[in-house]
Structure 1
Amino acid sequence: RNEHRDRSTLYLYAHLSLPSVGLRERNQHQKTERPSPAQRWQDDDLHPEFTQLLLLHRAHPRGHESLAKGSWHHGTVEKQGHLIEVKDLFGPVPGAQEEPHTVVLLGDAGVGKSTMARWVQRAWEEGLLFTDRFRHVVYVNCRELYRSEATSLSDLIAQGRASPGVPVGHILSQPEHLLLILDDLGEPKWVLEEWRSMGQRQPVRALLDGLLGRRLLPRASLLVTARTTALRKLTSSLQQPRWVEVLGFSESTRKEYFHAYFQNESQAVRAFSLVESNQALLSMCLVPLAAWMACTCLKRQMERGREPELAPRTATALCLHYLSQALPAQPLGAALSPLCSLAAQGIWRGKSLFGWGDLRKHGLDPATISTLVKAGVLRKHPCAPSYGFRHLCLQELFAAVCCVLGGPGEQSRRPDGVAGTESLLEAYGNPDLFGAPTTRFLFGLLSKQGERDLASVFTARLREARRRELLRWAEAQVRSQPPTLQPGSLQLLRCVYEVQDEGFLTQAMAHFRGARLCAQTGLELLASAFCVKFCCQVERLQLNEGGRRGQARVTRVPSLRLSWAPVTDAGWRVLFSTLRATGNLKELDLSGNCLSPSAVQSLCEALKAPSCRLETVRLVGCGLTSGCCRALASTLGAGPLLTELDLQQNELGDDGVRLLCAGLRHPACALSLLWLDQSRLSEEVVRLLSALEQEKPHLLISTRCPHQKAQVGPLCLPSPALLDDLHAAPLGTEDDFWGPLGPVATTVVDKERSLYRVHLPAAGSYQWPNTGLRFVVRGPATIDIEFCAWNQHLPRTAPQHSWVVAGPLFDIKAEPGAVAAVSLPHFVDLYQLTLDFKHAH
């Protein structure tokens, strides 16, 4: 895998002891220096394998459009953003007017932000990244920095510099060549004080605010990592940042991670196969922390000679399962209660490192602490004698347990003094309440599974009265939100998803009406599709509004329009797994989305499920072929409630329609309306359809008139007569390739020649929807595409009257061996024509 190192991409180590990456120090004598915010946790269980993370550049953070400052240009980057590489963080990217001085890496808990920040410093030290731009790199862990009440800028630089031999004064004299990494910025309560000179000590938060606001070192570059819940407090301090969202693993790198974690190949295959059988867990494992927990649990079971199993369907259940495996066989019982109290007070005070005084105050003795360290729940910091949770998510889980188990009377007797659920969650602020992991865990602990896991792990029973009280509180929090789902509602849906209780979901989601949501990851897609089924006012789910260039179907049925990218077979399996029980949904519209035979098979399996109540399914322009019709026919004959099926603008062929007719004849088929193109069918098959209508009077097989058709297919090109001028037409800002990692932007190399370039970041299949081009590449590849004029080439070899333009002419150049296959578009209507058809490329 050494060839990947030269591409300056981000890699995540497999046996992940988050929040650290456990990098080997270049200079061994650094380990003897006094502890600092840059000093890393000690890790002994790291594996030398790694996997790549996805980085999405956005014009502004998702769900925070209202925070955008007037100087930002929202139209320069599409809403879904563009995937970029680590080397491009501070460089030019599509849609950006200039290179940034501040880059903010944001994302959910456990997605790999801190791992990336530390990797950037290491890559720079090894000469792999940013060496031509930065002469000095300083790394600061902000949560550890908060332990100090005050510090000076000089001390901050001295403790975090990568090269301890370089004088601080020399670094500060060249701010334009300095990269300052502020990792895990958290949610500080900013203190807007006047900053002092570089050598004077001042409050830590005031110092950070001066750096972010460019009052300190205005010419230095900043790389900031923060959770999405920190953005409202963070944005006011930032000056024109570049927003980059860390999405976690792609589908391919998720699988690579499992193979990297298990040294035994058969164990890796066995583990991943087990996770694949649980679509909810598979989606969660796109988050590196969740993948690490899943691998750790499965490996422990294998090492103990047990048959591996992993059934969690929510983040809360996965974390509790991890704890049940990590903690000793003899339950700690009451010893965990003080740990919950400690965690809750830490969340309330923004504290993640605890000294002996904190531990003693909460009743934690040395023996219990030692046990928790061995179990991997706590770990000792190099700055002895401080301890922290293995990952901040574990602290937030224990804090949620504290909220759930303690009634008002019990809470007042706890040593942390936290006065209840509402008081604890005030630490996050109301606007970001649902984005806080503690809130998500609290919802999950209120599920029936959470109640059982609490009794198993914490040997504590959740009183039914307390559970009902918290469920009423949770329902009130959800119902207090606007009835129209907003882009920021995805975090709310992820919290509601954790409960997994039909009664609660029906009550909590009752007031929501249709809206538009954009799911960027499989986990967001899972939560959205699961929760919308319980919206009694939403009967229709539409994906991607009929295709990127299509026209949305006009309907008065209350709908949720869900945008989602990238659309992959694995994503389809996630979506269709949730639709095995559809709740209030009556209609599913997937028009304009390309469905592979595998995706169609997954859809049909969902439609056959007893709890699937869909009545209408629209698959207009989905690229269906005769190979998909056998599965569709078996669905029609399985006796579902399906009454309307729209299959227009698909090349089903005679053979495919014959298969459909067999399914329509089945006595259990309830279909009453089938939309089907008949213009390209043989007379024999058209007569077969007509006979079928007579045989089943309730069945109507219809085709919309041409002027009524909504062309929602993925390809929208001008008529052949205009294709000679196509080489001169601009492609517009929407013209991205779509591949396994999401949208990939094209760049204009020469506008006059209509020459475009695209860098495909990984192996896989990529489609250019606006042209019909598709490439299959063996690895990262750069491809140049030029639009040419047919009249400059074809007349040399054939008389002009003997040919018809059926598509654009391309001049395509790529590195030798990089492209495995190319699919070129053809657009010829041979209806009612009798001729020998030949095509030239």
Structure 2
Amino acid sequence: MGLRGSKESVPSSSSPQGTAGDLLLQALEDLSKINFKKFRHALAYGDLQGRNHIPWGRLEKADWIDTTNLMMNSYSGEDALDVAIIVFKHIQLREAAYQLQEKREKGGKAKQLPVCKCVKRPPTLPDYQRDYKKAICQEYSHIKDQNARVGDSVSLESRYSKLVIVNKHRDEEEREHEIMAMGQRHAEIMKEQASSSITVDDLFDPGPDVWTPKVVVLVGAAGMGKTMTARKIMLDWASDKVFAKFDYVFYIHCREGNLFTREASMAELITQCCPSGSLPLDKVLEQPEKLLFVIDGFDELRFSFHLPEPELCSQPKEKSLVEITLSSLFRRRFLPESSLLITTRPAALQKLSRFLKCERYAEIVGFSEVERKEYFYKFFNNAEQAAAVFQFVRGNEALLSTCLLQVRSVLGCCNLTAAGCRDLTAVLGAMPSLAQLDLSDNPVEDSGVRMLCRALAGPGCGTQKLWLWQCRLTEGSCGALAEVLPICPILRELHLGVNELGDGGVWQLSEGLWDPACRLQTLRLWQCQLTEESCRALAAVLPVCPSLREMHLGDNELGDGGVRWLSEGLRDPACRLQTLSLWKCQLTGACCKDLCAALSTSRSLEHLDLSENDLGDGGVWLLCESLGHPTCALQRLWLKKSGLNEETLQKLGALKEINPKLYIGYI
């Protein structure tokens, strides 16, 4: 009789083997649907420490009883329990491993497995620590589903697929080799990486020299899953699955609002990280070696960190600018016994290494073949649709090698040409939940953009963010993009930086922004070979596009004339722009009079970046007059510090008393 027909073939509980079978069946019945699938997958493909694998063909459709029968027939009774405990640990279910081992010992099988020596009963926690873990579980158990109704969310566990993490810092040549690989060769490389991968729980384990790192940097390209991994770490720690040696883990997202506070001590930042409210900070800080800070997205910090030692804080309760507080943590001026886990893109590693000794590097390299397939089935509720899209992607080399999908995004694509865009358009129509599309740093070219625009205009497309920086685009792309803006009102962010669009391209884009149906909120056009003429077009857009909140025009030769045009648009009462970035735009003090006029009348402009421009002392003094005016709404201003004399810097510092909500940063 086949195994799937042998529902009664679990041995009777009167025999030793029956006891093992009962324990195993009970343990499997306690698993969630997702964890049970992970368990079966590990039996087929995981590291079983020398035991034979059970073929996936037998496990794929097996239920709890089938799986128990397969294990009891493949291993002896006690060995089946050994394997189960190994697998529980492998899939990060340490509590399940502990419970199975405990029940086994109570049942008279007291053999202690070497592989289970680290599985211990969780200690009794103080009420405030238990409450903090409970609050973290509630905060991080769900993620926003941008394709659902406002306020709806989905379970993180239901969307998360395991990523391959390698315990090394890869050089640019090795990373480039992987990026250029296509199709099957790319899959082979990922398989090689997966064979030597580590788990998150290994990050702070002792190395071969028995030395335990305190600072770990987790590197990953854009969209590789760094933030998802960081949030999963928070959830797993609070669920007692990882990092048991840390009493508290605090999450600081470098892009979110807790870093926009003008001043804060480290203790106050910790309080902001606590979703349940206050913690007894004195008790929390008593054992700094038990603290872990997860700093997510270091590359998104605009702080310089090049502060003299005397300016740094020495105590975690010392209040200062957030820039100084974080610099003090990174440079280990306080809480040096604590541990740091920092996620960042590769481009920011050099900046990070200037002031922080990174004791261990690890890198997220993407999905393995199995996890890639699993992600599709998690992403789609309809199994047939998931299978169809996965087979389609698998059949296209460019898409197969670029398929680093992670929670509503196609990111980190490599070597995607116009031909690949043709294939991608079919995927966009079939994936309405795909909210983010990042094709940056690929030779997409104008023809590829035109193909994408046809898909973006389709009824099944749900793309909200489109990133196309450094894609070899010219003015020829802008007409198609302009046509899409009013047709695709769900599109909220458009990034076209490092493309030779020129003034002609911006004038074409402006036609789309003029349309009342356009709902674009963020437009990034830095380093696009723009001049004063582009500012003239964009200034006319500001009053008629109330949805536009951010405009990034850095590293273009806009000049003082360009600022004159933009100031006219900003002064219009209908303008709702909140962020304007004009770094490295060849501005001088002559533009400051126009900026002052805009600052004194605009009720919406909150962030202004004028860094890497030589405004001079006279120009900055003019700005100070408007910045100190009661009607000025500006909250953050970035300036170039070099070239300003001490008197001007003191004048800027004095604004703190006049306008406490204003933060001035220097780059």
Q: Same fold (TM over 0.5)?
A: no
More helix by share: 2
TM-score band by shorter chain is: 0.3 to 0.5
Q: So what's the TM-score if we normalise by structure 2?
A: 0.43
